[in-house]
Amino acid sequence: MSDVVDEQSAPSVALGLRAAEHAETRMLIDGELVAAASGAEFANISPATGRELGVTAAAGAEDMDRAIAAARRAFDESDWLANRALRRRCLEQLQSAIEGDSELLREELIAEVGCPRMTTQNAQLDWPLADALRYPARLIDEFEWERTLDGGGLFGERNVRTVVQAPVGVVAAICPSNFPVEVILNKLGPALAAGNTVVLKPDPNTPWNATRLGRLIAEHTDIPPGVVDVVPTPSNEVAALLSNDPRVDLISFTGSTAVGKHLMRQGADTMKRMFLELGGKSALIALDDADVGAAVRGALGICVHAGQACAANSRMLVHRSLFEPIVAALTIAFETVPVGDPTLPETLVGPVISAAQQARVLEVCERGQRAGARLVTGGGRPEGLSGHLAGGHFLRPTLFITEDSANPLAQEEVFGPVLTVLPFDDDDQAVRMANDSAYGLAGAVVSSSLDRGMAIARRVRSGVFGVNGGMFYGADAPFGGVKNSGVGRQCGVEGFRQYLETRTIAYRAPRKR
């Protein structure tokens, strides 16, 4: 059984009370912080305790319509898309405002996301805060917005063509619950820097970080009314207005593959552009020359934030010569990983986001076992949780082994602290097994030979890949997947281009003498 980091003084409850005291419960529409037109609200539930933290305004169809109209008007009628200096200044103001609220935001994330405190020091908060807005703000000045082509005229006339990069228009940014601030900032930054307007729809499980950003935008920046609208809602029908409305030009979605496919179908009638960052079933490959300790440390990534990361390596492919020692070391590691209260600095595995997700993880594990996977350690809820944590959505770090690549645990995205280990006999088989997936988001390899590791990396079909612990994360590095893992890229120049249209303008000019 995993060591449980239990609570004596109910720190998660105290944190929840503090988060509720400082939370922004209103949405941002057309520059104003407002309640829902109907007055409706919905509960924000703590994943660590199962208790209500507080409430948030629940947008209805009227609110969503008003937000889309405001974003459309701001794009069509204001000088936002043409005024690059204003865009850069506003992003710098927002950066400063978030930094001023960063510690409140950190505590809010731990309370509503259930993420362990240590994760806020990297991808949950500190990493995106460092460059998610700064990088696209810098691109406003550095990007090649226009280029000129000469030639191709008729009747001896000089023909000049100017290729212009222009904003797409109104962007619907639909964000997940697992890394909400990281995803929101990496959507807002390039979308706004490129000159678009944005309707932001946060996940209903984690609305307060987005509504807080709405308040900071309204109170601390010169972002014009309607350029950013923050519209939380628990209603799928209300959210669907974003994909159906012809006034919305682009859907920028991060979440499950099933929902991504549904959005593509919904957006087809209005020919919406799509950026979809979806699920994954990434493989960590330990070659026969891998250091066992390094391989095990890499595999523990599935335990961080209870495995709720699309790029997490939830499969581990191990050369048969190292299979037994690596499984033995993983067993010890999984049984000693600290599980429990996310407020505590030593906790690595906090709760999953909801009771529904907890049930789904257990259901996939059960199907995997019925299909022949062997449970090595973990499974079910951790023992020893008491008091307020007893109602939380916790799961034990869970390790399975199987020889069958078709097993549900080797094919489906579990989105929990569950690792499935499979043996292989040579490098070619490892690559075939890694590519034997409907997904293609991430992956990794451990080898004592960099050349060998790089050769594996170039053969595995994934959008990002790590060799010997290499980190692909950063606002300057494109992130996204192939196959069922999505369409397009987030971050980098490639991610910036996601929010731009290419236009060609031609004119006749006198011949050069």
**Are 493 and 420 in the same domain?**
no
Give the pLDDT score at 4.
Answer: 53
In a domain, 354, yes or no: yes
**Are 387 and 458 in the same domain?**
yes
**Are 369 and 495 in the same domain?**
no
Give the pLDDT score at 5.
Answer: 47
**Are 139 and 29 in the same domain?**
yes
In a domain, 509, yes or no: no
Sheet holding 313-319, edge to edge: 374-377, 398-401, 418-424, 313-319, 282-286, 443-446, 466-467
In a domain, 101, yes or no: yes
**What is the rounded average pLDDT for all residues in the chain?**
95
**β-pair partners for 490:** 479
The enclosing domain of 493 has a CATH number of: 3.40.605.10
**Are 221 and 109 in the same domain?**
yes
In a domain, 174, yes or no: yes
The enclosing domain of 427 has a CATH number of: 3.40.309.10
**Are 326 and 266 in the same domain?**
no
In a domain, 120, yes or no: yes
Does this model's pTM top 0.85?
Answer: yes
**Are 376 and 244 in the same domain?**
no
Residue with tokens 């050349």: 451
Q: How many whole angstroms separate alpha carbon 138 and alpha carbon 255? A: 28
In a domain, 2, yes or no: no
In a domain, 1, yes or no: no
Question: What would the pLDDT profile of 15-59 be if each residue is shown by its tens digit?
Answer: 777 888 889 999 999 999 999 999 999 999 999 999 999 999 999
Give the pLDDT score at 156.
Answer: 60
CA angle 483, 356, 338 (to 5 degrees): 90
**Are 393 and 439 in the same domain?**
yes
pLDDT tens string, the chain, 513 residues long: the values are: 344 544 444 687 787 778 888 899 999 999 999 999 999 999 999 999 999 999 999 999 999 999 999 999 999 999 999 999 999 999 999 999 999 999 999 999 999 999 999 999 999 999 999 999 999 999 999 999 999 998 766 666 778 899 999 999 999 999 999 999 999 999 999 999 999 999 999 999 999 999 999 999 999 999 999 999 999 999 999 999 999 999 999 999 999 999 999 999 999 999 999 999 999 999 999 999 999 999 999 999 999 999 999 999 999 999 999 999 999 999 999 999 999 999 999 999 999 999 999 999 999 999 999 999 999 999 999 988 888 899 999 999 999 999 999 999 999 999 999 999 999 999 999 999 999 999 999 999 999 999 999 999 999 999 999 999 999 999 999 999 999 999 999 999 999 999 999 999 998 877 665
Question: What would the pLDDT profile of 120-163 be if each residue is shown by its tens digit?
Answer: 999 999 999 999 999 999 999 999 999 999 876 666 677 889 99
Give the pLDDT score at 153.
Answer: 62
Give the pLDDT score at 152.
Answer: 65
**Are 233 and 331 in the same domain?**
no
In a domain, 512, yes or no: no
**What is the number of structural domains in the chain?**
2
Burial (Cβ within 10 Å: 0-12, 13-18, ≥19) of residue 15:
buried
Give the pLDDT score at 513.
Answer: 57
Nearest CA-CA partner of 343 in 155, 111, 177:
111
Give the pLDDT score at 154.
Answer: 63
Give the pLDDT score at 172.
Answer: 98
**Are 255 and 297 in the same domain?**
no
**Are 250 and 298 in the same domain?**
no
Give the active site residues: 277, 310
Q: Number of helices (H) and strands (E) in the chain: give both, helices first.
A: 17, 22
Burial (Cβ within 10 Å: 0-12, 13-18, ≥19) of residue 386:
exposed
**Are 368 and 274 in the same domain?**
no
Give the pLDDT score at 242.
Answer: 98
Question: Structural domain of residue 56, as residue ranges?
Answer: 9-278+488-502
